[in-house]
Amino acid sequence: MATIARARPLFDPPLVRQAIRDSFVKLAPWVQWRNPVMFVVLVGSLLITGLWIAQVGGGLMHEGRPSFVLAIALWLWATLLFANFAESLAEGRGKAQAAALRSTKRDVPARRLRGEDPSGPVETVPGSSLRRGDVVLVDAGDTIPGDGEVVFGTASVDESAITGESAPVIREAGGDRSAVTGGTRLLSDSLRIRITADPGEAFLDRMIAMVENAKRARTPNEIALAILLAGLTLIFLKTTATLLPYSLYSVSVAGQGTPITITVLVALLVCLIPTTIGGLRSATVSPPASSRHPA
pLDDT tens digits along 102-115: 665 566 777 787 76
Q: Indicate if 152 and 138 belong to the same structural domain.
A: yes
Same domain, 150 and 187: yes
Q: Which amino acid is at 172?
A: E
Question: CA 182, CA 196: separation in Å to the nearest integer?
Answer: 10
Residues 23 and 48 reside in one and the same domain = yes
Judgement on whether residues 47 and 169 belong to the same structural domain of the protein: no
Q: The CATH number of the domain where 142 resides is what?
A: 2.70.150.10
- Same domain? 17 vs 137: no
Residues 121 and 139 in one domain: yes
> Is 138 domain-assigned?
yes
Number of domains into which the chain is organized: 2
pLDDT score, position 288: 43
pLDDT tens-digit readout, 112-170: 877 656 666 778 787 777 888 888 888 888 888 888 888 888 888 888 767 767 788 88
Residues 71 and 39 in one domain: yes
Distance, CA of 18 to CA of 258 (rounded, Å): 46
Residue 129's domain spans which residues? 109-199
- Per-residue model confidence as pLDDT tens digits over 156-209: 888 876 776 778 888 888 777 888 888 788 888 888 888 888 777 677 777 766
Please indicate, yes or no, whether residues 194 and 135 belong to a single structural domain of this protein: yes
pTM score, whole prediction: 0.58
* 97 and 39 within one domain: yes
Task: Provide the pLDDT for residue 186.
Answer: 85
Task: Write the pLDDT tens digit of every residue in 207-218.
Answer: 766 665 655 556
Within a domain: 247: no
Q: How far apart are CA 279 and CA 233, in angstroms?
A: 13
Same domain flag for 150 and 29: no
Cβ atoms of 193 and 150 within 8 Å: the answer is yes
When pLDDT is averaged across residues 81-108 and rounded to a whole number, the result is 72
| Cα–Cα distance for residue pair 49/156, rounded to 1 Å | 63
